[in-house]
Structure 1
Amino acid sequence: MPRAPIPTWCFALVVVRRGDHFLIVQESKYGQPWYVPAGRVEQGESFASAAVRETLEEAGIPVRVTGIIRVEHSPSPAGARMRVIFLAEPTDDTPPKTEPDDESLGATWVTLDELANYTLRGDEVTELFSFVANGGIIHPPDIIQAEGVPYCAAGRSS
């Protein structure tokens, strides 16, 4: 008997760092707390592309993904959730957006010490920023590959 597919929801979260500052966005839902740019991966979109898109939509900041902090998979009887938490850097000096829209109420750069002045969605924001600031292990972004991409030895291109 065939098995039913497992519903899986995929999300990209982005820790954007510029020197000793980190980017946070004020959400237009969940009681309007501050969080990292994040959102669901759309059909046909890669995790990395979703990270870049979500950061631009929510914060107005163009970014380049520089690494992966962690990949999370949370199965449950109802389905599964996957989250890829990226590290990124801005590609230029565009200031964070200040005009509210459907994506967010605005965005700003903060230091770790300044986070205490904001109502955060949870402890995860502080934990992530501290992890990065304290030299936590960051994996290369190309650790995630599409199926069928050739396997290559380190330092060699195909």
Structure 2
Amino acid sequence: MSVKLIAHALIQDKQAYLVIKRSVTKRGQANVYPNYWDIPGGGVEQGELPRAAALRETLEEANQAITITGILHEDSQFDCQKQTVFTRLVYAAHLKEERPVLLDPEEHADFRWIESLEELEGEQIVPYLYSLIPTISGNSQ
């Protein structure tokens, strides 16, 4: 059995959160959660700390330099087929500076700044975001 760490950043700028839409394929392979809205993040590399991975992934995936202010969420799942425990860490983050969002088209198809998940109504959203991004009423689901 192996363990894989995944680090994400929930970026808040004023009252909005950055979400990015996963592409159907990722570097020629079927993507996990294709066409789902997610937040920047990815695998922690060998010898890398999770915080550093969240910073790196956010820069690589969305061209955003961020400051991490704390940890918001942790969850773990066991993948029987891969015999791997996947642990996700989500950090709270703010922008260091105003920059254009530039996506890697091999990984993501679109982005939006949203204030609530209702703005994505009718679209697919990765499940863990429901506990992180507020609804219009200001409460998380």
With the length of structure 1 as denominator, give the TM-score of the two structures. 0.69
Alignment length (residue pairs)? 128
1:7 is matched with which residue?
Answer: 2
The one-letter code matched in structure 2 to 1:68 is I
The answer (yes or no) to whether the contact 2:61–2:104 under 8 Å persists in 1 is no
The answer (yes or no) to whether the contact 2:117–2:134 under 8 Å persists in 1 is no
CA distance in 2, matches of 1:14, 1:109: 14
Following TM superposition, by how much is the alpha carbon of 1:113 offset from its aligned partner in structure 2, in angstroms?
5.6
Q: Measured at CA, do residues 32 and 74 of structure 1 come closer, stay the same or move farther in structure 2, by a change above 3 Å?
A: closer
Percent identical across equivalent pairs? Answer: 25
The answer (yes or no) to whether the contact 1:24–1:107 under 8 Å persists in 2 is yes
Following TM superposition, by how much is the alpha carbon of 1:119 offset from its aligned partner in structure 2, in angstroms?
2.0
1:23 is matched with which residue?
Answer: 18
Higher relative contact order (CA closer than 8 Å, sequence separation 6+): 2
**C-alpha RMSD over aligned residues:** 2.5
Q: Which has the higher strand share?
A: 2
After TM superposition, the structure 1 stretch with the greater mean CA deviation from structure 2, 32-41 or 69-78, is 69-78
Q: Which runs of 5+ in 2 are unaligned?
A: 24-30
Q: Which runs of 5+ in 1 are unaligned?
A: 1-5, 136-158
1:91 is matched with which residue?
Answer: 96
The answer (yes or no) to whether the contact 2:41–2:57 under 8 Å persists in 1 is yes
2:86 is matched with which residue?
Answer: 81
The answer (yes or no) to whether the contact 2:38–2:129 under 8 Å persists in 1 is yes
